[in-house]
Structure 1
Amino acid sequence: AEHLLQNYDTGNGARYILIVPDEAAEDLPVFHHAYAAKTAQPVAESQFDLLCDINYRLGEQNLLEPSYDEIHTRASEKAEEAAQTVLVVFPLFYLALALTMTAATILTIQQLSETERYRQQFQLLQKLGMDRREMAKALGRQFTIYYVLPAVPPVLIGIPFILHLSRAPEPGVMVGMNSPGAIAAISLGIFFLIYAIYILLAYTSLRRNVLPQ
């Protein structure tokens, strides 16, 4: 009740139920009634809509006292949680995608703008006796360090954030393809695919223009 539900639904004690003996509750005023039913088959969303219509019509018939009855089913809770998750995740996902493309573009432009300097360095290495294969490996290691280091902090921050966000819905909602592991894997796959395209294009262009023939 309200004594345990401190600060309504935002404070300590929210979503807790205190179970007491019947003798202790006999003389207490009743504020709410709750009825829970376990059906043989899950209640579909269409059946949930019909129940809500019945509840609405019964509320209209009770003209003296308005009805504050609420109906909840597992399907309706999953649909509501999914909608709330999309409203939060989609803007963040779009922002992360835009930032990833922006960062990859800046890194690529920075690398390609140094083409002349890299060409002079590799020409010097060629004069010192380094063959083309070793130069290609050195260029590859340089690209790996240059692009991997900026990607490490977002991964270390993003994965815990996704796992923490997945605890917001009720248990059993985010399962299967909606599980936190699947969401994290798909998100990382999409971002690293875009990242890899930028890296491949920049590396191919720089290798063609920098390494001696």
Structure 2
Amino acid sequence: MTQESSNSAMEMGTSDQELIAAKRKKRRNMIIGGIILLVVIAVTIALIVIFSASDPQPEAEAETGTTEGPTLPTTTTLAPTEDTTTTPTTMTTVTTMSPSPEPDPILIDLESIINGVFSAPSFNGSWVSGNEVLYRNQYAELVLFDVNTGDSSVLVQNSSEILQAASRVAELSPDRTQVVLAHSILPRTSMKQSNNDPSSDAYDRYDRRARDALQH
């Protein structure tokens, strides 16, 4: 009896050891299989990412190829028109002028005022009637001014050689069309000799009507 019980106890111990060893082996196999599966999944994901990042152009070319097709010649049919007249086209060119820079202002100092650098020209007019004044304007033209009406007319222009050589107006016709101008024919040898001395003057007649006829 004792020997049989010891044998059965030994058999039970051996079976327990085999069962424990089988469980450990199964657990080890599951762990190894899980690790291998994770490695395979990681490698697959890495390969997909590498290929998709390194070669994006074929997809773009494929998309372009699908959107763009071959260019076909197009035929346009124009309907006949009865009106054959052409309308000229008017082109307008607009030129924008940039404003010119303003000149620098002229500074006036006290010394210039004292020395008479800036002074108004003296009046050179003379009365020829109760309401008419004969004078030379800023262009050295001989002008007749009517103080009642405010009208002015140029009797002799500065371009006339007679006016340029004249020293004074000797006579004016009543109809204001002819002017007699005096100019000196002798040199002024003495300061006592007056500019209005008729003994050394010659006279020229200027006809305004001839000038107006040439201008018209």
TM-score (norm 1): 0.25
- More helix by proportion, 1 or 2? 1
Greater relative CO, 1 or 2 (CA 8 Å, sep 6+): 1
Q: Which has the larger radius of gyration?
A: 2
- More strand by proportion, 1 or 2? 2
